[in-house]
Amino acid sequence: MNPMLISVDAKAKTPKARFRARELRRIIALVFRYRVTLMFGLAATVAFACLHTASVGGAFPIFKLLLEEEGLQGWTDRTIAGARLGVHFAPPAADRRIALIGLDSDSLLYRQGLRPGNRVWDAQGRSAAELLSDLAHVGTGEAISVQTDSVTDSSSQPGSLTLQPGDLDASLGLLRWVASFIPGNADQDKFRTLMCLLAGLVALIVLGNVFRYFGEVLIAEAILRAMMRLRSDLYERTLHLPMSFFSGKPTSDLVGRFVQDIQEIQRGMLSFFSKFIREPLRAVFILGLALTLDWRLTLTVVVVTPLAVVVFWRIGRSVKKSNRKLLKAYGRMIGALTASLENLRVVKAYTAEDHERERLKEVDRVVLKQQVRLAKLQAFVSPAMETVAVFAGSILTLWIASRVLKHEIPVSNFATLGVALSVLFDPVRKLSDVYVRVMRSTAGAERVFQVIDQPIETELAPADIELKPLEKSIEYVNVTFTYPGAETPALQDINLSIRKGESVAIVGPNGCGKTTLASMLPRLFDPDVGKIRYDGVDIRKATLKSLRGQVGLVTQEAVVFSGTPIDNIAYGQTSVDQQGVRHAALQASADEFIQNIPGGYDASLAERGTTLSGGQRQRLAIARAIFRNAPILIFDEATSQIDSESELKIQTALREFAKHRTTLIIAHRLSTIQFANRIIMMDAGRILDTGTHAELFERCPLYRNLCETQFLTEPAPTGAPGVA
């Protein structure tokens, strides 16, 4: 199989696997066409991230309840009391004294000379919990007397201090209101509190997962619709590309762009809009929670992030390069499979099953090599990230533990912070997979947009003339054409005039340019040099629709589409004349076999007409050309696979149908070219001679040799159409 790929010129390919921001922007812009659905999905994703963070934060009150003696009620009282006084109290000690671990510079205790490490206790001998409760719930301006172990104000008694807690702000008021629902600190009260906390935590998780479900569904719907639109755009562009784009190149790689490449884009966008939005939000919210618990420790964790970024970037470059090679290998594999299956009769006839298996195995080895390389790269990401996380986590655990043992942070804070930081690494780990998928999607997008960005036929030359049915002649003027990639021209200096209503047969050895010459008329190819005139108008200035509307074409390989015989005969027509379809089928001798098919004209034909014989497919294709009723007919080996009896019937019909029509006939049978008023003899892309059969047989050695080896050994009988 030819390994060439349907793509732009090799010079336009990106030699290095780098991030393709332009392709990513184009894909995102395509997805944003469905912004309403997408925005609802993203909103649900944001809601999930918030609720997920809240559920992680829900571990804090549970740890407070289970791990610390003061319990949840005691913690809320201590927090509110400290905030009202501008200090940070340590959990109460067994001797009813409360240590200070932090003071605001404008607080009364700081102005009285107290510093971290000093302690206060109730002047009346009540417990520390009772003192903190009074400080949390006493009205603004009311005074409470406490004892201290250090007072420098000469106006106060040594060891005594009167405290007046400040106003409650909104957050403290909310916390005190919530705390009013918390039962006492007895064991049975703690159990009821734990049940309530767990019920709330479960509710948060369930609600968060509901938002996650709807977010993923809505985002997926928007992306899937965008991919359907991208496939449609790619298909529309492909249908309108000039035939020169496909010349000498297999279609397997193009099919791979429709299937494999768009699948890669789809996977990348699903990861981008779900995980890439959700996971950073989770990370940011969890990071905020961790900062509130211990900002110094959390910022230390963030230092590990640049190392992860470097790992992502290096792996992403390798992934994109390997994925581009994998996509090309997929195209080769599809081509090898298609060639083997389409030509299975020949494979079996020549007992070449083992040969084809080995050929496919060689292609498969290339695919396997790239798949394994990608698998290695993707498999490396998570272990690498987890290894970094283990090393960093071990060091951080030692640091945190040392602070806990020194009573610098409470055990509940340590436990909650551990949960938060462990959860924080989960979105970072998932983002590594997102980056890989996005890099793979940009490789697929690059290949898809290479096709979409190709100029279509109508963009290659300005055209605004609407052609009418031919009135005078068609003229080829100094036409030269070379297929892309070919070294020699397929046509050279062609000068030919075809009058309206004239039937012209084009003959010559294989590869001499017969089909190319006929294909130039409907502009399947454009001349490199010269022009083709239609009633004096350069056909490149005529609209393609009006030009091709004048031409009916029957190719050497009869094309049958999936559908009914009616669909095939009336192919491309917006309205179907049932009677006209049947009449065209009768003229092409197709009606007889169509009537014998179960279902008749409404029967469902297999793709490519595999349930029909070669002759039946050709008669169906001829019926299509007859039904089109175009003023110009092109028959390229149109009866090559039809038996003699059917050929005679078709020739009789075509002789009648070709009257008053301009006809180009490419054939290797003398009985076929007898329809022609004139015969064009070609060789090596040039016109050698023109004339009737008798004239050419007499004066053209190559034509005579062609007749003796492929046609007949003597001239056609006198009176045959087209013979002088």
Q: Which of 30-34, 184-188, 245-249, 482-486 has the lowest mean pLDDT?
A: 184-188
Specify the pLDDT at position 533.
Answer: 92
Say if residue 338's pLDDT is above 90. no
DSSP 88-133: EEPPPPTTS-EEEEEE-TTSHHHHTT--BTBEEEETT---HHHHHH
Q: What is the DSSP letter of 724?
A: -
d(CA 433, CA 379): 10
Q: What is the CATH number of domain 10-57+197-452?
A: 1.20.1560.10
**CA 465, CA 544: separation in Å to the nearest integer?**
9
Q: If DSSP codes are grouped into helix, strand and coil, which group holds residue 326? A: helix
Helices within 252-352 (DSSP H only): 252-256, 262-270, 276-293, 295-302, 305-342, 344-349
84-174 maps to which CATH number? 2.30.42.10
What's the mean pLDDT in 157-164? 74
User: Which pLDDT value is given to residue 724?
Assistant: 29
228 phi, psi to nearest 5 deg = -65, -40
- Return the pLDDT at 707: 80
Query: Regarding the domain delimited by 473-550+630-709, which CATH topology (the fold level of the hierarchy) does it fall under?
Result: Rossmann fold (3.40.50)
Q: Is the pLDDT of residue 9 over 60?
A: no
Mean pLDDT of 389-405: 67
Rounded to an integer, the average pLDDT of 528-554 is 87
Higher pLDDT, 298 or 159: 159
Region 458-482 average pLDDT: 85
CA distance 605 to 612: 8
Q: What is the pLDDT of residue 478?
A: 92
Global pTM reads 0.63
Largest CA distance in the chain: 143
- Reported as a single tens digit per residue, the pLDDT across 22-64 is 888 888 888 888 889 989 998 898 888 888 878 777 777 776 6
Q: Which of 252, 223, 363, 680 is nearest to 494 (CA)?
A: 680
> Domain-by-domain residue ranges, the chain?
10-57+197-452, 84-174, 473-550+630-709, 559-616
Token pair recorded at residue 434: 């997102």
Mean pLDDT taken over the chain: 76
Q: Rounded to an integer, what distance in angstroms lies between the CA atom of residue 210 and that of residue 208? A: 5
